[in-house]
């Protein structure tokens, strides 16, 4: 508690004004919103500092574009290649690893494409395409859509035709559509678990959390908008939020979010041995 009070006191001295009127604008993925994670994190952060966190829940690509346009203070997203691009271009800075879960392929219980038992997501996608089974894609340049396209490329398939449908919506809405239409889709595990009771879908290909395809790993990172590009954004509060989410308290909140005893996310910010690759684009060599 003393550390929290010192943190708040230090932040107040930096800002030099009451925080009650301050607002932090966070662009993030629909998965962090649909699972209820942001409700838990933001409630504690708002109580701690007396500020308001405004959330814009969109796909990862759209969230990073909002950062590039200087319309938000920070982003919490899950497509590392896209994150690296915006880091390298200088639109966002101070990246930190936050947590991970994984992607899973879900489909109707009757499994018309015979996907169950497929050893990888690539093989599952090949079976779906060969059967012409309905597949619902988010089609929104989100982190999930980015991973889906990566799997199709690895399978050597350009999806299209009547069997391949674009929802253009977030993960929750896409899952509902897949359930109603008896289709397959790719989803993050957290959103699926949070909604599973209301869906007529089941996991047909597991990700690495349950010993499945390592290609389906789904890490999340958080970054502040570069104040040198956008000095009017609330950089101090953005860094405070990053500090909170990656602190022992923030990581405890993340670890405590479960459905039926199963975690929706696994925190990764706290480690004894540093991993400096989290801060910069992975192909960065310095100089």
| Local confidence band at 34 (pLDDT 50, 70, 90 cut-offs) | confident
89 and 132 part of one domain: no
- Other CB atoms closer than 10 Å to residue 55's CB: what's the count? 17
Task: Please name which of 62, 150, 64, 140 lies closest in space to residue 103, comparing C-alpha atoms.
Answer: 150
Domain stops at, among 194, 216, 238? 216
Instruction: Tell me what pLDDT residue 9 has.
Output: 47
Cα-based distances in Å from 92 to 56, 69, 85, 200: 17, 11, 10, 39
Percent of residues, the chain, with pLDDT higher than 70: 92
53 and 91 part of one domain: yes
User: Which range among 11-25, 121-135, 191-205 shows the weakest confidence by mean pLDDT?
Assistant: 11-25
Rounded to the nearest integer, the mean pLDDT of the chain is 92
Q: Is the pLDDT of residue 4 over 50?
A: no
Q: Buried b vs exposed e over 117-141: b needs ≥16 C-beta within 10 Å?
A: ebebbbebbbbbbeeebbbbbbbbb
194 and 97 part of one domain: no
225 and 253 part of one domain: yes
- The total number of residues shown for the chain amounts to 287
286 within some domain: no
More confident residue, 13 or 105: 105
115 and 174 part of one domain: yes
- Count how many domains the chain has: 2
252 within some domain: yes
pLDDT tens digits, one per residue of 130-140: 999 999 999 99
Instruction: Tell me what pLDDT residue 286 has.
Output: 62
| Local confidence band at 14 (pLDDT 50, 70, 90 cut-offs) | very low
Q: Determine if the pTM surpasses 0.85.
A: yes
Contact criterion met (CB below 8 Å) for 108 and 100:
no
Cα-based distances in Å from 62 to 59, 68, 80, 127: 5, 10, 14, 31
Domain with 132 in it: what CATH number? 3.40.190.10
32 within some domain: yes
Q: Could you tell me the residue range of the domain that residue 55 belongs to?
A: 2-101+218-278
Contact criterion met (CB below 8 Å) for 129 and 155:
yes
Task: Please name which of 242, 246, 224 lies closest in space to residue 74, comparing C-alpha atoms.
Answer: 224
- Other CB atoms closer than 10 Å to residue 80's CB: what's the count? 23
pLDDT tens digits, one per residue of 268-282: 999 999 899 999 998
**Measured distance CA(268)–CA(153) in Å, rounded:** 29
**Measured distance CA(120)–CA(177) in Å, rounded:** 24
284 within some domain: no
């Amino acid at each position: 508690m003393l550390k929290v009070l010192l943190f708040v006191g230090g932040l107040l001295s930096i800002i030099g004004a009451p925080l009650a009127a301050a607002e932090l604008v966070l662009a993030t993925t629909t998965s962090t919103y649909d699972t209820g994670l942001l409700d838990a994190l933001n409630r504690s952060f708002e109580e701690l500092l007396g500020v308001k966190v405004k959330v814009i829940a969109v796909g990862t690509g759209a969230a990073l574009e909002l950062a590039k346009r200087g319309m938000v203070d920070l982003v919490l997203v899950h497509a590392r290649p896209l994150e690296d691009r915006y880091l390298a271009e200088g639109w966002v800075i101070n990246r930190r690893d936050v947590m991970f879960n994984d992607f899973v392929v879900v489909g109707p219980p009757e499994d018309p494409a015979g996907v169950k038992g497929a050893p990888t997501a690539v093989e599952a996608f090949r079976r779906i395409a060969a059967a012409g089974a309905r597949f619902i894609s988010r089609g929104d340049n989100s982190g999930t859509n980015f991973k889906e396209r990566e799997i199709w490329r690895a399978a050597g398939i350009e999806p299209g035709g009547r069997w391949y449908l674009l929802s253009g919506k977030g993960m929750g809405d896409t899952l509902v559509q897949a359930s109603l239409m008896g289709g397959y889709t790719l989803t993050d595990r957290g959103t699926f678990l949070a909604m599973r009771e209301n869906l007529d879908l089941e996991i047909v290909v597991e990700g690495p959390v349950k010993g499945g395809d390592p290609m389906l790993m789904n890490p999340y990172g958080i970054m502040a908008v570069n104040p040198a590009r956008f000095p009017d954004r609330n950089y101090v509060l953005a860094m405070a939020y990053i500090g909170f989410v990656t602190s022992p308290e923030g990581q405890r909140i993340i670890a405590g979010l479960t459905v039926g005893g199963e975690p929706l996310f696994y925190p990764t910010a706290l480690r004894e041995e540093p991993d400096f690759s989290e801060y910069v684009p992975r192909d960065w060599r310095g100089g």
